[in-house]
Structure 1
Amino acid sequence: MEQPEEFGTNKKYNIVILTASHPYKVSGIVAFDLMQCLNQSGCNVKIVTSSRLEKKYENTITITGTLLGIYQRLKNRLKPKVQNEHLFDSNYYMDGIDEKKSTFKAKKILKKISFKPDAFIYLFPQFFLSTSDLHYLNKKTNAPILWYMMDMAPITGGCHYAWDCLGYTKECGHCPGIYSNNSKDKTNLNWLNKFDFIEKSNIIPIAASQWQFDQLKRSSLFINKPHYKIHLPINNDLFKPGNKSEARNQLGLPQDKQLIFFGAVSVKEIRKGYKELIESLIILKNQISEEQIKDIHLIIAGRNNEKMIKDLPFSHTFLGFLNYSNLALAFQAANVFVCPSIEDSGPMMINQSIMCGTPVASFEMGVAIDLVHNGVTGHRAKLRDCNDLASGLKNILEMKTAEKERMSLNCIELSQKILQPNIIAEKFREILSKNTY
C-alpha cells in the first residue's frame, strides 16, 4: 500500500529549537544553522532563546527568566567578585550547578509558540532549562526532546568538560570540578535528579561527533535511551571552496606566503591548547630552513593580546573577531587550519575548514576523529604531542602543489558525504520518524 505524503521522513514537522546562547553569534549560531537546515527540508522551525537579542530576528522568540534566573546570571557575570572562585575549578565549566532550581518557566515557552510542536531540540543549557522543565514540555505536548550535545553537560552531574574524570559513567560525586571528596556531593544530587526525569521522559541524546558518541555510550544518565550521532550543521552557502587568491585579497593577506590559520582564545583557557599551539609552532620553526620560516605567515581570528604577540614565532596578521562571511574567507585563504584544542567537543571550526576544502592539523580529540585523517584531509596528532602536531604541519606545508590540491579535494569530498545540510536534516528526520506519533 502506498504511504501518504505526510508519512515518515516526508512529514512537515513542527520543531522548536531551545538554546541559552545567542543563536546568531559565535558558537551559538549552530541554532540558526540548524533552523535553516531543517526549514530547507520542509520543516517548520522556531528558535526559543533565553539570550537577550539586540534586535528582532525572524522565527526567533526570546523568553525572560525568573527572578532566580536573573540573579544567577548576574552572579555568574560578576564572578569571582560575588562568590569564592576557589569553590570551582574553571577548567570543568561548572555552569548551572543546581539542577533543581528553575531559572526559566517551561510554561512560558508553550505560551510563546504558535503551533503544537512535534519535537524540541535542546542545545546550550547554561542557566536555562532543567531536566524537570524538559519533562514538563515532553508530557504537555507529547513531543520528544532531542538533546543535541554541544558539550558534555547533558551527560554529567554538573560539568561541561569532564577531562579525565569518569564520574559521569557512574553517578558523579567526588567531583574534581568542585574539589569534592564526597560521593553524595552536589553533582551526585544533580545526577539523581536528572536521571529521574530522563527515565520518565522521552528525551533522546544526540552526539555531534564520534568523540561525544563514545562518551554518550559510557554515560550512566542515558543508559536506557537510544543513542544517535549527527554532525553539526554548517552554512554551506558561506563555508565552501573559494578562490584562495581572491580571499587573500579581500582580507588584505600576503599572496606569496604559506598561511596557517587558527582562532585565538584566552591564553588562560587551558582546554583550547594555547600552550600546546605555541610549543608546536616553535618546534616547527626549529625544524625548517630560514627561507621556509620567511615563507610562513600566521593569520589569527579573535583576541589579540601582548602575550600572544610576544609568543608567536612567525610573522602574523590578527584579523580580529570575524563575521561569518569573513571567517569563511579566512579558511579559503589558508593553506592549513590548525586546531590545538586538548579538551573540546567540537570545535565547529574543524567542520567549517573541511567544508572550505582547507586541510586541518589537530590533536586527536573532538570532531577531529571524524574529519581529520592523516595524509588525506590533514594531520591528526596524538593528544598533547606537540612534536607530532609540528610534524603534521610541516608535512602539509611541504607538499607539492598537486598533493595540496588532492588533499583539498579530499576535504571537499568528505564534507559532501557527511556535512552537507540536506544530509544533517535527513538524519534528524529519521530520528523523528521513529519517535513522533
Structure 2
Amino acid sequence: MKLVFINTFKNGGGAAIACQRLIESINLYQPDIETKLIYQTNTRILQKIQNLASLIIEKGLLYFKIKNKNDIFKFSTSLIGRNLAKNKSILEADIIHIHWTNNAFLSLQQLKKIVELDKPIVWTMHDMWVFTGGCHYSRGCEEFKKDCEKCIYLKKDKISVDQHSFKEEIFKNKNLNLVGCSKWISDLAKESSIGNDKNILNIPNPINGNKFKYTIPDKNENLNYKTILLFTSANLNDPRKGLDVLLAALNNQKNNTIHLILVGKSKTPLNIPKHCSYETLGFISNEAELIKIYNKADFFVCPSSEDNLPNTIMESLACGTPVLSFDIGGISDLIQHKENGFLVKNYGDLQENLATALDWAVENKTEFRKKKESISLDARQKYSYLKISNDYINLYKRLLSN
C-alpha cells in the first residue's frame, strides 16, 4: 500500500505535528506500507520568495474584505496553490491523506483536480475550515449548516458563499472521506451542509508514549511547597491561547503559593502578578526538554478560547501532568473532570471560572502528584502509536476494498 500525506508544513503547528506522528506510527508498526509527505518546501531562496509572495497576495486580497485586520489568519481563501494533481507520488498513491493545506499551499481548484483523480481520499479535520466558507473557527456562528452567507469575519462580500458552494461540489465525490480528531469537530461536520451526507469517523491524534511519559522530576526544594503551573504557546501574546485570562485569574490569587512556567516567545511585556514567582523559557522545540518541563509541572493550563484537540494537552497527560482547561472543542475528549484535570466553564466570567480551577489545583496538588503515573499510563494507552495507526490502517483497507 502506498500512502501520500499532504500538509502545508513539515514541522511546526499542531496539524504538522499530528501528521508527522501518524506517519511515524505507521512506519513503526506497518513497515510494509510506503509513506510519503508532500509539504511546502522552503529550502531554497527562490522557494521562500515564491511561498511568501503567494501568501502575501492571498492575504492581501483578503485584507480589504475582512472586518477585523487581526483576524487575517483566522480566515483562509485558498485561491492560490500548487498544482499537486500531477505530482508523481500522488499519481502513484493508493490513498491520499490530507491534513492542513492553507497559507497558499493547496487551492480549492487544485483540490478539485486531486479529487477528480478518483483515488480514495481521507481528510483529517484539524479545525473547521474543511466545512466552512473560510473560517478556521466559527465562534459560535452556524452559517456553515447552510451557505455561509452571513459571515461574521467578512464585510459584505460573497467569498465565503462562493467557497462554501465550491466545497459542496467537491465533497459530492464519494471517494472523499472525513475524519475528525475529536468528537466535537466530527459532530459539527455532520451538521454542516458540506459533510451531512458523509460517513465521518472520529480518530484522535497519536502520541509517542515511549517519549512522552512520566519520569520522576529533579527535586527543587524551593518549589516543592508551591503549585507549579505550565503554560505554552508558540506566541505567548496570541489572544486565542488565553494567557491574558490566566494572568487575570492569577491576579485574584492573593498568595505566593503558585509558580508559573511560560514556554513560548513574547513580543510585548507580560503583566505577571507580582505575588507569583515565574520563569520564562522562550520557545523550545527540543522534545526532550519539553518532556522534562511537562514532568516538572503540577498542572498544565490551557485557557484557549478556541481549539480542537490540542497536542499540548495530550503531551501533558502522557507525561502524567493533569490539565486545567476551558471546556471547549474536543478538549472534553481528553480531560475527565477532576480525574486527570479540571474542565473550566466557558461562559460567564472566564477569569473567575479559571480562578476556581486554580484554587482547586492548589488544594489538590499533593493528591495529583501521587496520580501522575496512572494519568500517564491511561493517556499513553488511549492514544498510542499502535492503536491510532491501526485505526487508520483499518480505514485505508476498508476504502481500498470498496
- Give the 3 Å change call, closer, same or farther, for CA 83–396 of structure 1 in structure 2: closer
Partner of 2:242: 273
Matched, 1:105 2:83: yes
> Which deviates more from structure 2 when the two are superposed, residues 300-309 or residues 321-330?
300-309
- Of the three residues 372, 387, 392, the one matched with 2:357 is 392
Output the CA distance in 2 between the equivalents of 1:422 and 1:122.
Answer: 21
Q: Following TM superposition, by how much is the alpha carbon of 1:26 offset from its aligned partner in structure 2, in angstroms?
A: 4.1
- Structure 2 runs not aligned, ≥5 long: none
Q: Do 1:336 and 1:360's aligned partners in 2 also have CA atoms closer than 8 Å?
A: yes
Q: Following TM superposition, by how much is the alpha carbon of 1:268 offset from its aligned partner in structure 2, in angstroms?
A: 5.4
Q: Following TM superposition, by how much is the alpha carbon of 1:197 offset from its aligned partner in structure 2, in angstroms?
A: 1.2
Q: How does 1:44-193 map to 2 (within 5 A)?
A: 44-53=34-43, 71-75=53-57, 83-84=63-64, 87-88=67-68, 90-91=70-71, 93-97=73-77, 99=78, 101-109=79-87, 111=88, 113=89, 116-126=92-102, 127-140=104-117, 142-180=118-156, 185-193=158-166
Output the CA distance in 2 between the equivalents of 1:435 and 1:217.
Answer: 19
> Which deviates more from structure 2 when the two are superposed, residues 24-33 or residues 336-345?
24-33
Once the two structures are superposed, residues 294-320 of structure 1 have per-residue CA deviations (whole angstroms, 9 ceiling, x without a partner) of x32111100235531455751110111
- Of the three residues 315, 319, 325, the one matched with 1:356 is 319
Output the CA distance in 1 between the equivalents of 2:360 and 2:225.
Answer: 19
Output the CA distance in 2 between the equivalents of 1:65 and 1:299.
Answer: 34
Q: Do 2:179 and 2:202's aligned partners in 1 also have CA atoms closer than 8 Å?
A: yes
Q: Do 1:15 and 1:45's aligned partners in 2 also have CA atoms closer than 8 Å?
A: yes
Q: Do 2:21 and 2:206's aligned partners in 1 also have CA atoms closer than 8 Å?
A: yes
Matched, 1:299 2:265: no
Partner of 2:111, secondary structure, is helix
Output the CA distance in 2 between the equivalents of 1:267 and 1:255.
Answer: 26
Partner of 1:431: 395
- Give the 3 Å change call, closer, same or farther, for CA 64–157 of structure 1 in structure 2: farther
What's the TM-score once normalised by structure 1's chain length?
A: 0.81
- Give the 3 Å change call, closer, same or farther, for CA 264–107 of structure 1 in structure 2: closer
Matched, 1:258 2:227: yes
Q: Do 2:207 and 2:380's aligned partners in 1 also have CA atoms closer than 8 Å?
A: no
Once the two structures are superposed, residues 78-125 of structure 1 have per-residue CA deviations (whole angstroms, 9 ceiling, x without a partner) of x69x9448555544744431x5x341002342x2x2982121111111
- Give the 3 Å change call, closer, same or farther, for CA 430–424 of structure 1 in structure 2: same
> Which deviates more from structure 2 when the two are superposed, residues 28-37 or residues 305-314?
305-314
Q: Following TM superposition, by how much is the alpha carbon of 1:171 offset from its aligned partner in structure 2, in angstroms?
A: 1.2
Output the CA distance in 1 between the equivalents of 2:378 and 2:144.
Answer: 32
Output the CA distance in 2 between the equivalents of 1:53 and 1:145.
Answer: 28
- Give the 3 Å change call, closer, same or farther, for CA 402–197 of structure 1 in structure 2: closer
- Give the 3 Å change call, closer, same or farther, for CA 316–243 of structure 1 in structure 2: same
Output the CA distance in 1 between the equivalents of 2:113 and 2:47.
Answer: 18
Q: Following TM superposition, by how much is the alpha carbon of 1:231 offset from its aligned partner in structure 2, in angstroms?
A: 1.0
- Give the 3 Å change call, closer, same or farther, for CA 53–258 of structure 1 in structure 2: farther
Q: Following TM superposition, by how much is the alpha carbon of 1:410 offset from its aligned partner in structure 2, in angstroms?
A: 4.3
Q: Do 1:66 and 1:103's aligned partners in 2 also have CA atoms closer than 8 Å?
A: no
- Of the three residues 203, 209, 223, the one matched with 2:176 is 203
Partner of 1:33: 21
Partner of 2:178, secondary structure, is strand
Q: Do 2:236 and 2:264's aligned partners in 1 also have CA atoms closer than 8 Å?
A: no
Partner of 2:331: 368
Q: Which amino acid aligns with 1:107?
A: A
Partner of 1:357, secondary structure, is coil
Partner of 1:416: 380
- Give the 3 Å change call, closer, same or farther, for CA 146–242 of structure 1 in structure 2: same
Q: How does 1:217-296 map to 2 (within 5 A)?
A: 217-245=190-218, 254=223, 257-264=226-233, 266=235, 269-283=238-252, 285-286=253-254, 290=255, 293=256, 295-296=257-258
Q: Do 2:259 and 2:278's aligned partners in 1 also have CA atoms closer than 8 Å?
A: yes
Q: Which amino acid aligns with 1:137?
A: I
Q: Do 1:131 and 1:198's aligned partners in 2 also have CA atoms closer than 8 Å?
A: no
Partner of 2:269, secondary structure, is helix
Q: How does 1:14-29 map to 2 (within 5 A)?
A: 14-21=2-9, 23-27=10-14, 28-29=16-17
Q: Do 2:26 and 2:389's aligned partners in 1 also have CA atoms closer than 8 Å?
A: yes
Q: Following TM superposition, by how much is the alpha carbon of 1:194 offset from its aligned partner in structure 2, in angstroms?
A: 0.9
- Give the 3 Å change call, closer, same or farther, for CA 268–119 of structure 1 in structure 2: same
Q: Provide the identity percentage.
A: 23
Q: Do 1:156 and 1:172's aligned partners in 2 also have CA atoms closer than 8 Å?
A: yes
- Give the 3 Å change call, closer, same or farther, for CA 91–281 of structure 1 in structure 2: farther
Output the CA distance in 2 between the equivalents of 1:105 and 1:234.
Answer: 32
- Give the 3 Å change call, closer, same or farther, for CA 66–224 of structure 1 in structure 2: farther
Partner of 1:8: none
What's the TM-score once normalised by structure 2's chain length?
A: 0.88
Q: Following TM superposition, by how much is the alpha carbon of 1:66 offset from its aligned partner in structure 2, in angstroms?
A: 12
Once superposed, what is the RMSD of the aligned Cα atoms? Answer: 3.0
Q: Do 1:91 and 1:269's aligned partners in 2 also have CA atoms closer than 8 Å?
A: no
- Structure 1 runs not aligned, ≥5 long: 1-12, 56-62
Q: Which amino acid aligns with 1:433?
A: K
Output the CA distance in 2 between the equivalents of 1:105 and 1:65.
Answer: 17
Q: Following TM superposition, by how much is the alpha carbon of 1:74 offset from its aligned partner in structure 2, in angstroms?
A: 3.2
